[in-house]
Amino acid sequence: SFQKNRPKSLLHVGRLTSWEGVRVPKNPAGVTTRGVREAAGVCRAIRQGRIRPLIVGIWNPGRCWIWEARLRACGYRLELVYERMEFYRRHRL
């Protein structure tokens, strides 16, 4: 819907919201999210073993603890908080 409302925006062209497609890379260098639904989808894909990015960026303006708990269980640690983004790095392979 973001692209539908802003047809000339190139920022989000090709942005994945589903991690079950054919063109999904197995080990992307990094993944960022821009909302709760995307964050939940990324955490689910990591937990189910579909993707294993080195860095995960979660947009978390309310500093909700659930994202850190979910990612910590999958081997990620909080590395940096910048503005409203939290960046997690994979520590366990």
Model pLDDT for residues 24-59, shown as the tens digit of each residue: 777 888 898 888 888 988 999 999 988 899 999 999
Predicted confidence (pLDDT) at residue 1 exceeds the cutoff of 50:
no
Find, among 59, 49, 62, 65, the residue nearest to 87 by Cα.
59
Residue 86 in tokens: 């939290």
Predicted confidence (pLDDT) at residue 18 exceeds the cutoff of 60:
yes
Tokens 């909080």 -> residue: 78
